Amino acid sequence: MAKRFSDPDRAAVYRAIHERRDMRHFVSDPVDPVVLKRLLDAAHHAPSVGFMQPWRIARITDASLRAALHAAVERERLNTADALGKRRDEFMKLKVEGMLECGELLVMALMDDREKHIFGRRTLPEMDLASVACAIQNMWLAARAEGLGMGWVSLFDVDEVRTLLRMPAGARPVGILCLGHVDAFYDQPMLETERWASRMPLEACVFENCWPEEDAPGGDGVNVSTVKDA
């Protein structure tokens, strides 16, 4: 039987998982290129559907391009606020990105020409996106272990970012990643501190066998009654 990691190694894995935060506050010191390479390599070792490795990563080093991406996000932030109705003002008070402060800005995209990849995607084509999300999460966790913060920004018009980066038509940006040094990591999700949302109990997300009846179409919400305490 395969051996598990040593106790300190296992603790380090869970620590990275629990102490990773989506960061929006950065200090602008540069990221060591050797560390950046390790993080990109961590992303590139993510699982991917049919091993298609659909991630493409653009490192933004041109200040005017960074500013243009920021402007695109700002436009979408205002559109999102308008779409939120009653929660508009509450949303506008949230800091949703640190794009101008972070040491490194990366755009994570889906490659073009993905149609020929059928394995694992015939009925679930969105598994390419899931694979890119795995790459981002690898990088997020590794960054936390390196003492670097990362923030995933998804407030942008896809075509606008595609055009800015001169992506081929079939490619699709899925995240603008702010990466860099931070003074301190938030000790809980910032959206929780700001009372935007809170973590659901695990029991509300884990079912035994079938979906609980109360959650079936026409049901009245989350059911935790069928889940036993762990």
CB under 8 Å to 180, separation ≥6 — which residues? 26, 27, 28, 29, 31, 98, 101, 102, 103, 104, 148, 149
Question: Binding of ligand FMN at residue 152 (CB under 6 A)?
Answer: yes
Instruction: Give how far Cα 210 sits from Cα of 131, 184, 227, Å.
Output: 26, 42, 11
* Closest to 206 measured CA to CA, from 178, 172, 229, 186: 229
Site string for ligand FMN, 6-25 (x = CB under 6 A): ---------------xx-x-
The neighbour count for residue 40, using CB atoms within 10 Å, is 18
According to the binding rule CB under 6 A, does residue 154 interact with ligand FMN? yes
When asked if residue 81 is in the footprint of ligand FMN (CB under 6 A), the reply is no
96 lies in the binding site for ligand FMN (CB under 6 A):
yes
- Closest among 170, 175, 229 to 202, alpha carbons compared: 229
> Rule CB under 6 A: is residue 214 a binding residue for ligand FMN?
no
Q: Does 177 bind ligand FMN (CB under 6 A)?
A: no
The site string for ligand FMN over 33-62 (x = CB under 6 A, - otherwise) reads ------------------------------
- Name the one range near ligand FMN by CB under 6 A: 37-45, 100-108, 146-154, 211-219: 146-154
| E strand residue ranges, 144-210 | 148-153, 172-181
| Contact status: 193 vs ligand FMN (CB under 6 A) | no
By CB under 6 A, how many residues form the interface with ligand FMN? 11
In the list 155, 165, 224, 227, the residue contacting ligand FMN (rule: CB under 6 A) is: 155
218 three-state secondary structure: coil
Residues in contact with ligand FMN by the rule CB under 6 A = 21-22, 24, 96-97, 152-155, 189, 191
